[in-house]
A = this chain, B = another copy of it.
Amino acid sequence: MPDILHRVGVNAPLQPVYRMLSRPEGVSRWWTRKVTGTAELGGTLELRFKNDSLIMHMRVEELRPLSLIRWRVLAGPPEWIGTAISFELKSNGDESVVLFKHAGWKEPVEFMHHCSTKWGYYMLSLKSLLEEGRGTPHPDERPASSWG
């Protein structure tokens, strides 16, 4: 099964990177502004997009402090249901490296191409947030016009 893969090096220690990925108020600063729920192991995060017309639920399936976060998609776009989203962290000199994977897609459909581009964009949003204090979570993406 095809996966979406990304990698960013972030000029920040592991601790703040992990915090931005493992807490609702962190995720709201780089992915989508509307995040609620609990980010503890076994908890469920709720994320809202497009004026609440798209609601996603992610169950937190794995949490290894400073090293790994994995979510399972319980609700969201049909192609996402049951897929797994993970963030693996490691140190690399002065940088923290984030290895992203969205695994479990059944087919490499056109929507998967779209999600791959957007995930890359949000990983760079995370990088900007940690390095410059400002991310571009939904609905603040730029260019703002339709991505399709």
Contact = CB atoms under 8 A, between A and B. Distances in A.
Interface of A: 2-9, 11, 92, 95, 97, 99-100, 108, 110, 112-114, 116-117, 119-121, 123-124, 127-128, 131-132, 143, 145-148
A45 to B, nearest CB: 23
A8 to B, nearest CB: 6
A102 to B, nearest CB: 11
Copy number in the complex reads: 2
**Secondary structure of the A side of the interface?**
mixed
A9 B116 contact: no
28 contacts: A2-B2, A2-B3, A3-B108, A4-B116, A5-B116, A6-B120, A7-B113, A7-B114, A7-B116, A7-B117, A7-B148, A8-B147, A8-B148, A9-B148, A11-B146, A95-B146, A95-B148, A99-B110, A100-B113, A116-B120, A117-B120, A117-B123, A117-B124, A119-B120, A121-B124, A128-B143, A131-B145, A132-B143
A143 B123 CA distance: 12
Contacts of A100: 113
Nearest to A120: B120
A112 B5 CA distance: 8
Given A6-B117, A95-B146, 16 more contacts: A2-B2, A2-B5, A3-B108, A4-B116, A5-B116, A7-B110, A7-B116, A8-B117, A9-B146, A11-B145, A95-B148, A99-B110, A100-B113, A117-B120, A120-B121, A131-B145
